[in-house]
Structure 1
Amino acid sequence: MGNCCRRIDSTDFDTHKHANNNVNKKNRNSLNNEEANSTVNRNIIANESEYIVPDISDIFYKNLSYPSKGIFTLYLTHQLDQNNTNNDVNNTPNGIDVPCNKGVFRNVYNYPRIRDIVLSKDVWRSRIIYTNKLTNVYTIGTNAIGYGICGSVNHCVNKRTQKVYALKSLSTLANSKRKMTSVFNELSIFTQLDHPNIAFMHEAYDDNTICHIVMEYCSGNELYDRLDTYKRFSESYAIKMTFQMLLTLNYLHSNGICHRDLKLENWVFYNQEIDSLLKMIDFGFARVFEKGIPMGGMHGTVYYVDPEVIDGCYNEKCDIWSTGVIVYMMLSGSPPFNSGSDKEILWKIKKGNLKFEGVRWNSVSELGKEFIRFLLNRNGNERPSAREALKHQWLANEYNKYSNFTVPKELLYQIIRYSGETPLHRAVIALSVMESDRNCPKEVYRSFFSINTSKSGTISFSEFYNVMSTQLSLSEEDCTLVFRLIGFRNTPELNYTEFVSAVIEHYGTLDINMLSLVYKKLDVNGRGVVDLESFKEVIGPYFGNVSSDEMFMSTDLNNDGVIDFSEVRRTK
């Protein structure tokens, strides 16, 4: 199934085998630390007493902007002792030791610094809905298409547009600290991520006891399903997939986030096309980390688990190890460390005797095998970072496709035109891009990573200036102004959604249907008109350096205190 955030139920693990050297689709689950002394269950590795509430790292603030309401304060109000590590903490922060029934985003604590951060509004956080019910907007499918540690995954259909989404419902009435912590992890991280190879969070609804996350629906099925169909991939195809995975990991790790449960099932294809974009899903085990400080607690899935995770002390490069396992499986159709029981699999992982045996490896280059060894270094400190892995010779041709790609001048001119539009025009375009889940031509993806020479997933000013000055002879002063105007997330670097918003009109103007959707988004109270209060609810106090009051007054042409649809259309 091509759903997002899918997790297989833990009751099926007993018959998990790899018959005929092929990955078996049945019974794929994560580990459980509680049974490590016997046959290890593939459910979640986490003791009931385990409690992961990490401090938000500075780099998370810097690069991903501030978190939104409620649930994020549970991270921010808890300050780790400087002697602590990224390991689990023993003491319980305020408000988390009892079930919360006040709504996951409404639960704001009385800390001035926290309140100022989490109550802020802007276009990016307009996806978090407080004033409407999910069922007023979507028809929810009756049958679950997947299950996760914190809730089920269903289809849902927008009643107005008939567009299909994936819906993940997370209960906020947790009966255990571990489960509640996982909810906090997933929401605080997933709502901030902005990368083309990560499934886009369309909206989140706060429904007192349940938080509903509406995500883009990826119809191309899991990477697992495609591998199960083809048995193994050609080396050239595996290179394309690996490159996209490492782009995503470079973005996550650069922003202080570790996924901790990478596997074939947690990568899905956007559509059924053979060259479809690959998207990362399921951030239930993800966490924020501090560089150089080890993490603790066992998390992951048996075949993909890093040997240092088994020992309980590891860093973000556990994701690199898991990626190495995935590459091995894409090229051979079977895992590198396999056996009849989980205990034996973990023993083989610890022993680290990596083999390339069988005729299926005859067609794989020595460079490909070297790359796998490169990723599956048992010493996490010596294992490459995602950025280092991207520069490996095995990926050189794919890397050069982006490095040597020349961004069309017309696209760069469009960026300048967009920067010169009114603030409301830019805000409407940004909202429309988010409404469409950033759907855009593949040329935009190639252009983005051509400009982003570091492949970090965000464009720095120096990268932006290098392209604009080289191709358009734009001065540094003008480039600084354009760069500032096209960003709306108030971060030092240009995020993917901001870039798409700046270039999307090159491919056509905003149609009336999308404009109507944006207007409905602005009409928070459903009155049929947009007043200043609802306008600020979506736009925030400022868009760029222009106040929302000023934007509102300049759009309210007849000075009646509301913006009607015809006035918004004039911005186009």
Structure 2
Amino acid sequence: MGLGLFRMFNCFSSKPREIPIILGSETPPRPKQRQRKEELGGGGESKIGGILGRPYVDINTMYEMKKELGRGQSGVTYLCIERSTGREYACKTIARGKLVRKEEIEDVRREIMILQHLSGQPNIVEFRGAYEDRQNVHVVMELCSGGELFDRIIDKGTYSEREAARLMRQIVTVVHVCHFMGVIHRDLKPENFLLASKGSLAPLKATDFGVSVFIEQESQSHMNPIHRRRRQTEANKACQHTVQQNQRRPRRKALTDINELYRLERELGRGQFGVTYLCTEKATGRQYACKSIARRKVTRKNEMDDVKREIMILQHLTGQPNIVEFKGAYEDRQHVHLVMELCRGGELFDRIIARGSYSEREAASICRQIVNVVHVCHFMGVMHRDLKPENFLLVSRDHNAPLKATDFGLSVFIEEDKVYKEIVGSAYYVAPEVLKRNYGKEIDVWSAGVILYILLSGVPPFWGETEKQIFDAILEGKLDLESAPWPSISAAAKDLIRKMLAYEPKKRITASAALEHPWMKEGGEASDKPIDNAVLSRMKQFRAMNKMKKLALKVIAQNLSEEEIKGLKQMFNNMDTDRSGTITFEELKSGLSRLGSKLSETEIRQLMDAADVDKNGTIDYYEFITATMHRHKLEKEENLYKAFQYFDKDSSGYITRDELRHALTEYQMGDEATIDEVIDDVDTDKDGKINYEEFVAMMRKGTLDNEGVIGKERTR
């Protein structure tokens, strides 16, 4: 029936698991409690807490608890020091034994949710994170070392109306911010304001939101906070996380005009669901990255659940080493906005290629950071499920800038005793047990092992011209550590790769053990001898060359005769029910169903992603032809020449850098570095341009497709 590329996915048939999740800063619902012990990266059990609904976390592994700062009815506030950075924070520790009534549990959940919602706004304490263990709930926030407002005034002895106005302006700013963000504080008093430091002009910070609620437009609240537990408000109900209530539609947080808080500037990247912008926080002038997801493109329940879950996991992991800092999530009528740390250093592979050379020791340093992300995720009860180089950015352009994991769109909270079956991830990095639909968190170690293999050899360990061929190679499991450049790679490095790419998940090394491997350890056995330059050359090809071939195939499709595309045009028109000239996801799903397809929504999304060359969220006519036409017709001599002529604008017989740059930029398929890499790889005679013979050789040989995502589109 001319389905070509579509047929290769027919082996994937199960529907993705839908995870009911509350929007924004709320915690995930509690899964059914199970009894089996689950080994984490750092040891211990992966139990789900009854207050926050998240996996238990031993806070002492992340923070060192110091002196007591204050004591209240339900808990104690301590000075604490973050072990990874040495920074000081305040930790409010609430005894779980004192949270016995449902209303008390709801109060804690709501306070955490409001702290997350308001964090980063002027004169409001910065929220760091919330954690739960078997005895306590811990709320970590900014340390305000300046003491209470009235104590400062009394110590000062005298002050003027102007000073009073300055203090009052900050207090009213808190009220303004709360109301603008859809919150009623309900308990403003001097004791709830602390000074950020002991400096004479230190700003005030509101620190206690224990009786605050989200504003509901349809009702007014006249409740005295002293009697707040006499009835449940709808805001309280929105904080409940029982399995029964997951089936009801939860209350949404108040809509927020992000332009009041941030100035959105130039575009940093674009995906199927939205755009990432550089943004500047108006209150501080600090720059962040803002991922704006179009609500109209997130219409299905599983897509909304994906966004909600990604936000919660970012909140849960923020502050951990090598994980992007999460600033906040906001929603208006058109978009959901995720604001996070701006990583200016670019992608990992781009940096390596730009440097020109690196050693095993440098590869070990890079891999140590990647494996540390796996260790942290597993320790915090999260499975990443899509580790690949594109999901790691460098914080800055400095030589020793740290790596940050930035994309958690496919990540999930680990559920005990659960067998995961949904096929997710990216083709070259997916573990064999994922393809067998029976996996756990060990898949993340496999993906990190694939990245290490590429760092040391320049190519992935399991190779194929199509995704099906890649998957077949992965399932076969033959690991090549003999051919070049492996004879020149140290035995210790190869030993670690064997352990990370062990075929049986239970025999695979854990992330915590990998960090202690002699080759991986800082100051360990990794050599400082430069790796062969051929590795970099291979890496360039792996990174870049598929983009030119994809565009060339689309150009060929545009030039095929009516006879060559007989039947495909009618198929396209049958699917394009609104006659827009493009096929949407819903149209593709409906059309495939009419053709008798039994594919799940996830699998149809895979087809959509594969065919959508320009990543605008729809399949145009020529993208459809490219994806469905038999490949031998696309690569006939006359068709290849037409494609070559498309690039060769001046008919000189050569494709120059400028011509390739113009063609790829027109389709938003590559930056300057990528364009130069394509030229360098295809230009075998190294005259600085691509002749016809070089172009044909590139088209006819198997090239890698680094964009083969078998889960969801990765940049929403």
Query: Which TM-score applies when normalising by structure 2?
Result: 0.41
Q: Following the alignment from structure 2 to structure 1, what is the Cα–Cα distance between the partners of residues 508 and 32?
A: 28
Change (3 A) 1:292 1:376: farther
Q: 1:157 to 1:370 in 2, by over 3 A?
A: same
Report the counterpart of residue 258 of structure 2 in structure 1: 134
Alignment-derived partner of residue 214 in structure 1? 339
Rg: which structure is higher?
2
Matched letter for residue 36 of structure 1: F
139-148 vs 213-222, greater mean Cα deviation: 139-148
Aligned position for 2:271: 147
Is the partner of 2:328 in helix, strand or coil?
strand
Amino acid of the residue matched to residue 331 of structure 1? L
The match for 1:9 is: none
- SS of the residue corresponding to residue 166 of structure 1 reads strand
Determine the structure 2 residue equivalent to 1:455. Answer: none
How far apart in 2 are the matches of 1:204 and 1:72? 7
Q: Is the 2:25–2:315 Cα contact (8 Å) retained in structure 1?
A: no
Change in CA separation of 1:316 and 1:167 when aligned onto 2, cut-off 3 Å? same
- State the Cα distance separating 1:134 from its structure 2 match: 1.2
**Contact residue 73 and residue 114 of structure 1 kept, 8 A:** no
Deviation at 1:151, TM superposition (A): 3.0
Deviations 1:152-194 (A, max 9, x none): 2121123454433111123455321221121121011111212
2:9 alignment counterpart: 36
* 8 Å CA contact 1:232, 1:331 repeated in 2: no
How far the C-alpha of 1:286 sits from its partner, in A, is: 0.4
Equivalences for residues 6-85 of structure 1 within 5 A: 35-37=8-10, 49-53=15-19, 70-71=23-24, 75-76=28-29, 79-80=31-32
Deviation at 1:261, TM superposition (A): 0.4
Alpha-carbon shift at residue 296 of structure 1 (Å): 1.9
Provide, for residues 433-471 of structure 1, a one-character-per-residue CA deviation record: whole Å limited to 9, x for no partner.
xxxxxxxxxxxxxxxxxxxxxxxxxxxxxxxxxxxxxxx
How big is the shift at 1:231?
6.7
Distance 1:291 1:398, change over 3 A: farther
State the distance in 1 between where 2:103 and 2:333 align: 24
Which of 129, 147, 169 matches 2:292? 169
Partner of 1:479: none
Aligned to 1:368: 493
User: How far does the alpha carbon of each residue in 1:304-341 deviate from its partner, in whole angstroms, 9 at most, with x for none?
Assistant: 00000011110101000000000001111111111211
> Residue in 1 aligned with 2:432?
307
Q: Distance in 2 between matches of 1:51 and 1:255?
A: 21
Encode CA deviations 1:121-154: one digit per residue, 9 max, x unaligned. 4756533873552101222135351326x53212
State the shift of 1:216 in Å.
Answer: 1.0
One-letter code of the match for 1:158? E
Q: Does 1:180 align with 2:304?
A: yes
Where does 1:37-436 land on structure 2 (aligned, <5 Å)?
A: 37=10, 49-53=15-19, 70-71=23-24, 75-76=28-29, 79-80=31-32, 115-121=106-112, 126-127=118-119, 130-131=181-182, 133-141=257-265, 143=267, 145-147=269-271, 150-172=273-295, 174-193=298-317, 194-230=319-355, 233-398=358-523
User: Displacement, 1:376?
Assistant: 0.2
Q: Do the aligned partners of residues 233 and 352 (structure 1) sit closer, same or farther apart at CA in structure 2, a change above 3 Å counting? A: farther
Partners in 1 of 2:105 and 2:523 — Cα distance? 43
- State the alpha-carbon separation in 1 of the partners of residues 385 and 330 from structure 2: 26
- Shift of the 128–50 alpha-carbon distance from structure 1 to 2, 3 Å rule, reads farther
CA distance in 2, matches of 1:147, 1:322: 23
Deviations 1:333-360 (A, max 9, x none): 1111112111111100011100024432
1:380-405 CA deviation, whole Å, 9 max, x = no partner? 1111111111111212344799xxxx
- Letter matched to residue 320 of structure 1: V
2:407 aligned counterpart, secondary structure? coil
Change (3 A) 1:315 1:399: farther
Q: Is the 8 A contact 1:375 1:383 kept in 2?
A: yes
Please report how far the alpha carbon of residue 227 of structure 1 lies from its aligned counterpart in structure 2 after TM superposition.
3.4
Percent pairwise identity:
29
The answer as to whether partners of 2:117 and 2:328 remain within 8 angstroms in 1 is: no
The alpha-carbon deviation at position 80 of structure 1 amounts to 4.0
Contact 1:127/1:204 (CA < 8 Å) preserved in 2? no
Contact 1:232 1:330 in 2 (8 A): no
The separation in 2 between residues aligned to 1:330 and 1:354, in whole angstroms, is: 15
Q: Contact 2:383/2:411 (CA < 8 Å) preserved in 1? A: yes
Separation of aligned partners in 1, 2:23 and 2:354: 43
Going from structure 1 to structure 2, the CA distance change for 1:177 and 1:124 (only over 3 Å counts) comes to: closer
* Separation of aligned partners in 1, 2:391 and 2:441: 17
* CA displacement, residues 53-73 of structure 1 (integer Å, 9 cap, x when unaligned): 179xxxxxxxxxxxxx74466
Q: Assess, with a 3 A threshold, how the Cα gap between structure 1 residues 124 and 159 changes in structure 2: closer, same or farther.
A: closer
Preserved CA contact (<8 Å) 2:445 2:510: yes
Q: For 2:259 and 2:339, how far apart are their aligned partners in 1?
A: 12
Give the whole-Å Cα distance in 2 for the aligned partners of 1:265 and 1:128: 28
2:386 and 2:372 mapped to 1: Cα distance?
A: 17
Aligned mates of 1:339, 1:230 — CA distance in 2: 28
Q: Against the structure 1 CA distance between its residues 51 and 209, is the aligned structure 2 distance closer, same or farther, given a 3 Å change threshold?
A: farther
Give how far 1:233 is off: 3.8
SS of 1:320's partner is: helix
SS in 1 for 2:267: coil
Task: Give the CA deviation at 1:217.
Answer: 0.7
| Per-residue CA distance 1:175-222 (angstroms, 9 max, x = gap) | 212211211210111112121310101232232553211111111111
**In structure 1, distance between residues paired with 2:505 and 2:20:** 21
Instruction: Give 1:260 deviation, angstroms.
Output: 0.4
Distance 2:108 2:473 in 1: 47
CA distance in 1, matches of 2:433, 2:496: 20
Q: What amino acid is the match of 1:53? A: I
Letter in 2 for 1:327: L
Q: Is the 8 A contact 2:8 2:468 kept in 1?
A: no
Root-mean-square deviation (Å): 3.4
Amino acid corresponding to residue 186 of structure 1 in structure 2: E
CA distance in 1, matches of 2:453, 2:322: 21
SS at match of 2:396: coil
Alpha-carbon distance, 1:117 to partner: 4.3
Per the alignment, in what secondary structure is the counterpart of residue 120 of structure 1?
helix
Distance 1:141 1:345 in 2: 40
* Counterpart amino acid of residue 145 in structure 1: G
**Contact 1:232 1:329 (C-alpha < 8 Å) held by counterparts:** no
Change (3 A) 1:203 1:292: same
SS of structure 2 residue aligned to 1:283:
coil
Asked if structure 1 preserves the Cα contact closer than 8 Å seen for 2:518 and 2:524, the reply is: no
Counterpart amino acid of residue 314 in structure 2: F
